[in-house]
Amino acid sequence: MATQPSILAFLERLQQVTTFDGLQSLVESLRALYQVDNFIYHSINSAGEPYAALTYDLDWVDHYLDQDFGRIDPVVLGCYQRFHPVDWKMLDWSGKAVRAFMLEAHDAGIGNQGFSIPIRGPNGQFALFTANHRCSDGEWQKFTAAHVQDLILIAHYLNQKALEIERGTDRLPYKNLSPRELDALTLIGSGQNRAHAAEKLAISEHTLRVYLESARFKLGAANTMHAVALAMSHGRIIV
Amino acid sequence: MIRYLYADQLDQLPDLKTAMFLDRAQQFQARLGWQVQVDVNGFETDEYDAMNPLYVIWQLPDGTHGGSMRFLPTTGPVMVNDHFGDLTGGVQITSPLIWEVTRFCVSPKVKVTGRVSAALILAGAELGQGFHLNHAVGVFDARMVRIYRALGWAPDITGTRGDGPDAISVGLWDFQAPPFDKLCARAGLCREVSQNWFSRAFQI
């Protein structure tokens, strides 16, 4: 499975997405980027309407909905109303109905490993992003250890994009960068190291890291340098 | 023992829930004089308790509340962004890798508060590492600054409002390398026990 940072490639594609069809293609493209069998993004908006972009076999999706497997699916039950990331190993797969469901899922090509990230959106919107794969525990452990923060970020960036498409706007209120975040990006962008940048801003290095992390997330960036580049290209900072 | 419970799981432990909200009223209204809402039952709750936060609770041997704190992700509404923007340099702290921690409380029943405080902070460190977070941002009263420092894991203070015992601060913890050994020693717990409580709560 992938060991290179693939989130940058994902984010470049994400920027081009303006429709739900585009979002579906993007989720499909994650498979090659991370060399993982399946990715699933699904959400329930504030009006209770479901939406999904996923790579599972569509016959399985129909069967799942038809059987109303959401009632017993440990992933759904273990993630709904939660906000911590969940390795499928953490879930309770015991019980007769769940075991039967698992066997059917396996036959439909669903992998034995999974990692799911629940997302709480605005006004009761709820979404779930899952990476699913067939491999040994050891391999999966290696993959998640290397990519868990990527998966958490991708989950949230996908959800923001889905909300933007739904509303027909790309202006989410929390995208507002404060002057201090812009100062932090400017200093780092001009080649200052963190210690110097923090000193100039009269803040601790931890505080600087939090400003940079916050700015990174609001800009939809892969890392600090990507955030600097995006802020520059949006004309938010001049370095 | 440490319990990790979302708000919708608290009803499974009604004595614990009752004691926590009563103790919070005692600490934040009676002792600190904060402008908090206390309902007819004597419970101190606010709008964030209604958002199904994750509580980290020290449960006493009798099943009731020894101390607690409350976590919410900064991607949603949080106290620090809604009410304390002036203490973060005007930055709306927003990232799925940063959670907010508030309402750090120790029950007046507890004789040795240092141990309970240390156990809670240790549990916070467990949670930060277990859920792959980068930071926690906290809102706390002036007295806590000293306590956190004495426990060996002081947050970086980003801002303080008010003076003396009435002061309220916002601070940051970094989850890169929490001082687990120090915290375990202060809490009188071994790391395995702490890890086991975390794993059991989330069925890892």
State pLDDT tens for residues A174-220.
468 999 999 999 999 999 999 999 999 999 999 999 999 999 999 99
pLDDT of the residue at A64: 96
Read off the tokens for A22: 């585009």
Q: Do B156 and A207 touch (CB under 8 A)?
A: yes
- pLDDT band at A173; cut points 50, 70, 90: very low
Residues within 8 A of B (CB atoms), A 12-71 only: none
Spell out which residues of chain A touch residue B90, defining contact as CB-CB under 8 Å: 178-180
CB atoms B75 and A120 under 8 Å = yes
In chain A, what's the furthest Cα-to-Cα distance? 62
pLDDT digits (tens, 9 = 90+) for B136-173: 999 999 889 899 999 989 999 999 999 888 899 999 99
pLDDT tens per residue across span A98-111: 999 999 999 999 99
Cα distance between residue A117 and residue A132, in whole Å: 12
**What is the per-residue pLDDT for A177?**
92
Q: What is the mean pLDDT of residues A140-167?
A: 95
pLDDT at A91: 94
Instruction: Name B168's Cβ contacts closer than 8 Å, sequence gap at least 6.
Output: B84, B87, B139, B140, B141, B142, B160, B161, B162
**ipTM of the complex in this document:** 0.94
Residue B56 has pLDDT above 80, yes or no: yes
Asked if A129 has any chain B CB less than 8 Å from its own CB, the reply is no
Q: C-alpha angle A5/A231/A122, rounded to 5°?
A: 80
Question: What pLDDT is recorded for position B142?
Answer: 83
| Residue B80 touches chain A, beta carbons under 8 Å | no
For residue A156, give the nearest of A218, A113, A78, A209 by alpha carbon. Answer: A218
In this prediction, residue A5 has a pLDDT band, given cuts at 50, 70 and 90, of low
Mean pLDDT for the stretch of residues B66-70: 98
pLDDT above 90 coverage of chain B, percent:
93
Entry pTM: 0.95
Residue A1 has pLDDT above 70, yes or no: no
Spatial separation of the C-alpha atoms in residues A189 and A178, rounded to whole Å? 16
Look at B135 and A178 and tell me if their CB atoms are within 8 Å.
Answer: no
Q: Which of A83, A176, A210 sits opposite B73 (nearest CB)?
A: A83
Sorted by where each starts, the structural domains of chain B and their CATH numbers stand as 2-201 (3.40.630.30)
A120 vs B73: CB contact, 8 Å cut-off?
yes
A200 touches chain B (CB under 8 A): no
Which of the residues A120, A172, A182, A210 would you substitute to probe the B interface, choosing the one with the greatest number of B C-beta atoms within 10 Å? Answer: A210
A125: helix, coil or strand?
coil
Whether residue B88 has pLDDT greater than 50 = yes
Compute the C-alpha angle B166/B16/B193, nearest 5°: 95
pLDDT score of A2 = 47
The confidence score (pLDDT) of residue A170 equals 56
User: Tell me, what's the pLDDT at A176?
Assistant: 81
Q: Is B2 left (phi over 0), alpha (psi -120 to 50) or beta?
A: beta
Q: Which residues of chain B lie closer than 8 angstroms to A214, CB-CB?
A: 74, 91-95, 98
pLDDT value, residue A45: 81
pLDDT for residue A122: 85
A11 reaches B (C-beta below 8 A) = no
Tell which phi-psi region holds residue A235, choosing left (phi > 0), alpha (psi between -120 and 50) or beta.
Answer: left
CATH numbers and ranges of domains, chain A: 7-167 (3.30.450.80), 176-233 (1.10.10.10)
- The mean pLDDT of chain B is 95
Residue pLDDT, tens place only, A19-65: 999 999 999 999 999 999 999 999 998 788 889 999 999 999 999 99
